[in-house]
Structure formats: C-alpha cells, structure tokens
Amino acid sequence: MNKFFSVKDITDLNTLVKEAIALKKAPLQNQHLGKGKTIGLVFLNSSLRTRLSTQKAAQNLGLHTIILNANQEAWTWEFEDGAIMNGNTIEHVKDAANVLSQYCDIIGIRCFAGLTNKEEDVSEKVYSLFEKYAKVPLVSLESATLHPFQSLADCITIAEHLPINKKPKVVLSWAPHIKPIPHAVGNSFAQWMQKADYDFVITHPEGYELDPQFTGGVTIEYNQEKALENADFVYVKNWSSFKNYGKLIPVEEDWLLTNEKLKGSNNAKIMHCLPVRRNVEISDEVLDSENALVYQQANNRTYAAQIVLQKILENHE
Ligand code: CP
C-alpha cells in the first residue's frame, strides 16, 4: 500500500479486517517497522479520536509522531496554484507539503468539506493539492468526501459482532442535527458496506440523498421504521443536503433514534462514529444500552490506522 484515501486503496477487505483484529493480541510486534521514521499528522479541523488513535497506532509501530494543527499553529495556507499572494495567505500548500515531506516518512491530513463550494469539495481540492505536492505516502484523516479510517474501524466492529450464519442487514440511518454537517462519514460507510457485500440500506428524509457516486445501487428507503425492520446493525449519522448543497432542509418527522424506533429491528447493534449529539441524534437510552458499539468503534480506530500504516511501512522497508 502506498496511500490511503478510500476503499479503492485496499484489495481484500476480509483479510485486512482479520489482520487488524489480530493486531489487538500483539499490538507492539512490529515496532521495528517504524524505527527511526516519523509520521506527520496535519489537522485543518478539530479531532479527538482520529488525532489520538492514529498517534497510538503510529507509536505501536515504533513511529515518531509530529502533530500540526495547521489552522491554529501554522502560517495561513494558500490553495490556489499560481496565486499572487498579496492577501491574507502566507504560505502556499505547495511549499508546506514539500517541507513536511522532508520531516516525515508518512503524512496524514484532515481537511473537511467547507460546504460552501460543492465543486471544490467534490473534487477534493485541498486533499488533491496536498497529495500533488507531498513527496511521501499520504493517508486521509477525513477529507471533504470520505473518512476511510473510520469506515475500516466500522468494518472491524461489525466483523466482531456478526450474526451467526446470516448476512447482516446494516442500515445507515440519517439523524437530526443543529447545524450543517459534511457527508464524508455517510459516503465512506456506503462505499465500505458495498465492498463488504452486506445487506445494506440507507434511510433518510427526502432531499437528503448522498452523492450517487458513493451510493449508486444501494437501496434507499425514506420510511425509517420500515428501513429498521430486521436490522442487525443501525449506523446513525447526520449529514446536510447534497442536492441543496450544505443546507439544512426542514424535516417534519422525528428521526431521533430511540428504543421505540428499534422495536422492529433484530435486536440491532447501534453504531455512530462520534462525537454524537446525545438526545438529538440518538437517545441516551440507546447510547447507554448494551447494544451500543460506539466505544468499540472508537477503540478500533487504532487498529484500523495501525494495519494501514503497517502496510505502507512494509511497502517502504
Ligand atoms: N470519528 C472521528 O473521526 O472522531 P474525531 O472527529 O474526534 O477524530
């Protein structure tokens, strides 16, 4: 492996998930791979899980870690090639990526969708520019459209809780939120669930369709109750409208996930990438129940990152 941006960068999901699960028993066995090497983690947006789990994964592999909170600690970056930089931007991403590549053997970058310019977000303008100028392997810590480490951790979590002798029914259920949220987690989960070949359904109010480039072929059910019938896993996530880009469209029905809503499910396990707005997206009773897997997902972020970084290090020994 030489980069990690999406599900397209992996070949065999089942094997990768099994290898990640195996790491839990002996997380420090490959410390030699990262010895004397450095990973740089660049954050243009906030993070708890991604920041700490990727650091932990790197340290398990013997890597040194450097964190750059680019929006708070670095010079303001310019993202237009050919820009006459006589305004507020101070350092071109071309120069930043080149310099970081001298300090780091692998770089991770988090760059969310701005939700104001659909074309820029869909084209992954920031991630693509950084990738163009970086001279070392690049991994996504969540980009404008995708969140692959999260999705791999989600696949690991589902694999650890599979029903016996049955292809699981997995439902991605849209949730309410107080402000517009990017589409990356939903898009990414849709991609990875298709790769996993589970019985996968997305439910959301009309007008909240995700980008069809990630959901093409997936069953969309606008009736949440119907979608949740016989579900083995319910993945709850908010996203803003894609069609009416980055906007909140008013929704009349109550999409908060409660125990009452789950009555028709197959005693479903509940998933969310976190952070979660309690009692807005999911009720306390559901989040605090035995069926909630949210902390297991967060724990698996370490092993998702570790198996990917391990593959990249092995490729550059
Ligand atoms: N799920 C996730 O990516 O969490 P953070 O935003 O805290 O990194």
Residue 262 is encoded by which pair of tokens? 């789950």
0.90 exceeded by pTM: yes
Q: Tens of pLDDT along 163-173?
A: 998 999 999 99
Beta-strand pair 269-271/106-110: unpaired
19 in a structural domain = yes
103 C-beta neighbours (distance < 10 Å), count: 13
**pLDDT tens digit string along 141-181?**
999 999 999 999 999 999 999 999 899 999 999 999 999 99
Q: Same structural domain for residues 285 and 307? A: no
Pocket of ligand 1 (CB under 6 A): 47-50, 142, 150, 273-275
Same domain (yes/no): 143, 195: no
SS3 277: coil
pLDDT at 39 over 90: yes
Q: Do 231 and 311 fall into the same domain?
A: no
Same domain, 38 and 57: yes
CA 260 from centroid of its chain's CA atoms: 28
Angle between helices 148-159 and 49-60 (to 10 degrees): 70
Does some domain include residue 154?
A: no
3-state secondary structure (DSSP) of residue 288: coil
Same domain, residue pair 7 and 143: yes
- 305 shares its domain with 283: no
User: Is residue 31, in this structure, part of any structural domain at all?
Assistant: yes
Region 228-255 average pLDDT: 98
Tell me, what CATH number does 194's domain have? 3.40.50.1370
Are 142 and 171 in the same domain? no
- The ipTM, to two decimals, is 0.99
Q: Is residue 285 part of a domain?
A: yes
Which atom of ligand 1 is nearest to 51's Cα? 8
User: Does the pLDDT at position 124 exceed 90?
Assistant: yes
Give yes or no: residues 113 and 25 share one domain.
Answer: yes
Q: Is residue 69 part of a domain?
A: yes
In the prediction, which pLDDT does 189 show?
A: 98
- Over 90: is that where the pLDDT of 16 sits? yes
| CA triple 195-197-139, angle to 5 deg | 20
Shared-domain flag, residues 288 and 309: no
Strand segments, DSSP code E, in 191-246 are: 199-203, 219-221, 233-237
Can you tell me which atom of ligand 1 is nearest the CA of 297?
Answer: 1
- Quick one: average pLDDT of 81-107? 97
* Residue 46 Cα: closest atom of ligand 1: 6
Per-residue confidence at 317, pLDDT binned at 50, 70, 90? confident
| Residue 156 maps to a domain | no
pLDDT category, 190, cuts 50, 70, 90?
A: very high
The range of the structural domain enclosing residue 59 comes to 3-147+300-315
Confidence (pLDDT) at 129: 97
Which pLDDT score, from 0 to 100, does residue 243 have? 97
- Whether residue 18 sits in one domain with residue 122: yes
How much distance in Å is there from the Cα of 85 to the middle of ligand 1? 33
277 CA to centre of ligand 1 in angstroms: 13
CA–CA dist 63, 42 (Å, integer): 16
Shared-domain flag, residues 175 and 203: yes
Decide: residue 192, CB within 10 A, 0-12 exposed, 13-18 middle, 19+ buried. Answer: buried
Q: How far is the CA of 142 from the centre of ligand 1 (A)?
A: 9
Answer yes or no: do 193 and 260 share one domain. Answer: yes
Residue 127 domain flag: yes
The tally of domains found in the chain comes to 2
Reported as a pLDDT band with limits 50, 70 and 90, residue 55 is very high
316 or 108: which carries more pLDDT confidence? Answer: 108
